Amino acid sequence: MPELRVEIRRSIDAALWNTWISRAQWGTIFQTTFWADRLRELWDCQPYFFVVNCGNFDLPTLVLLGFNVRSDLIVSEDTPLSARVKEIPRKLLGMRRRFQWFGQPGLVSSGPNEDAYRLLLLEISRFCRTNNIPAVAPSEIPIYLTDSIPADWEKRQWATYLVDLRQGENALWKNLKKTARKAVRYAQEDGIEVRQIRSLEDLRAYYDFACGCASRYGKKMHGFVDFETMWRHFRPNAIFETFVAEKDSEPLAGLSIWGYHGIISELGSFQSERSFREKLYGSDLIKWEILRWGSTQGYRTFDLAGVNPEPQTQKEQGIRQFKEKWGGQYQPFWYASWREGSRRQ
């Protein structure tokens, strides 16, 4: 049997690559060419397409889309499926560039292949050394690779909750925790309604609302281009939707989702001062409406976008409690990272 090998390309046939991602385990939007096109424009970074195969490029075992990015453009670890950019001073990092990928590598073969993952990570570190990239930012890999991570890579456990949308609305409602059902009912009794953003102009108005919310609790925004590029690159070929909870036509809360081939993930949750002050439940109603909407659209999975398995702060504990009440299955994974000259003890 031919040995596994890794091929790296700076460009790829989009239709072929997206077909692989659509049938891959963990084949999310973060590994599609639509994501590559957006980040190439937004961050001015070079995408690289890694293909692990047994001598036949057209029959891959494992595929990965990664990026050579500036060190001050790094997705925050505490929001692993979000495109929010966290600025880190270059002096603190002591480096100019990093390699980064988003979501997990796409496993195209029929079952787990630890050799393929190990070879991929070894090839990434070799690629970084060759191209003078001193580090790989924390990026996702499956939890079962504990013994396959190379010695000079670090790992950190993280987790998410995955809701099966195929079970239908009645089962989705039944599987909610009592606190979630109660919150949804309170929101409905208060006359709160949820609507979808339907135009780029409407999205701009929503962005202004989001900025007002963000400024109140110190959340950094990165310009309307962050939203506009999602709208332009994802909606024609993938999924990008934004939902707003309103009372008396006043926005109270908002949440966006993005996805590909039946898997959707959340990003960018916002709440107004009035929502907090009056203890309104617009955010809960949005979550429920997205579950209903995703089910009727025929999507398979709703990824609630990450929690700390061992919450370190009251905020992290609150995030986990909020996400676990929506009936999802707890799914751990690793963040793997690498730095030139490092070695695990």
Give the Cβ contact number of residue 114 at 10 Å.
Answer: 14
- Counting beta carbons within 10 angstroms of the beta carbon of residue 217, is it exposed (0 to 12), middle (13 to 18) or buried (19 or more)? exposed
Give the three-class secondary structure for 148: coil
Tell me which CATH code domain 5-158+334-339 carries. Answer: 3.40.630.30
Look at residue 40 and tell me whether its pLDDT is greater than 70.
yes
Q: Fold match between 5-158+334-339 and 162-332? A: yes
pLDDT for residue 244: 98
Give the three-class secondary structure for 11: coil
pLDDT band at 161; cut points 50, 70, 90: very high
pLDDT for residue 217: 82
CB-CB contact of 305 with 266 (8 Å): yes
pLDDT for residue 343: 57
Give the three-class secondary structure for 206: helix
pLDDT band at 82; cut points 50, 70, 90: very low
The domain locations on the chain are 5-158+334-339, 162-332
Q: DSSP characters for 41-106?
A: HHH--EEEEEEEESS-TTSEEEEEEEEEEETT-EE-TTSTT---EE---HHHHT-SEEEEE-S--E
pLDDT band at 76; cut points 50, 70, 90: very low
Computed over every residue of the chain, the mean pLDDT equals 91
Mean pLDDT confidence for 319-342: 94
pLDDT for residue 102: 97
Dist CA 166 CA 195 (whole Å): 22
Structure-model confidence comparison of residues 344 and 56, the more confident one: 56
Look at residue 202 and tell me whether its pLDDT is greater than 70.
yes
Residue 28's nearest CA partner among 306, 239, 282, 274 is 239
As its CATH architecture, domain 162-332 has 3-Layer(aba) Sandwich (3.40)
Mean pLDDT confidence for 214-232: 93
Instruction: Compute the residue count for the chain.
Output: 345
Mean pLDDT confidence for 116-140: 96
pLDDT for residue 148: 86
Residue 291's nearest CA partner among 237, 243, 248 is 243
Dist CA 261 CA 277 (whole Å): 39
Q: β-pairing, 250-260 with 239-247?
A: antiparallel
Look at residue 94 and tell me whether its pLDDT is greater than 50.
no
pLDDT for residue 73: 55
For residue 217, give every residue at least 6 positions away whose Cβ sits within 8 Å of its Cβ, in sequence order, or none: none
pLDDT band at 147; cut points 50, 70, 90: confident
Look at residue 180 and tell me whether its pLDDT is greater than 60.
yes
Angle between helix axes 14-23 and 33-43 (nearest 10 degrees) is 120
Residue 155's nearest CA partner among 166, 168, 146 is 146
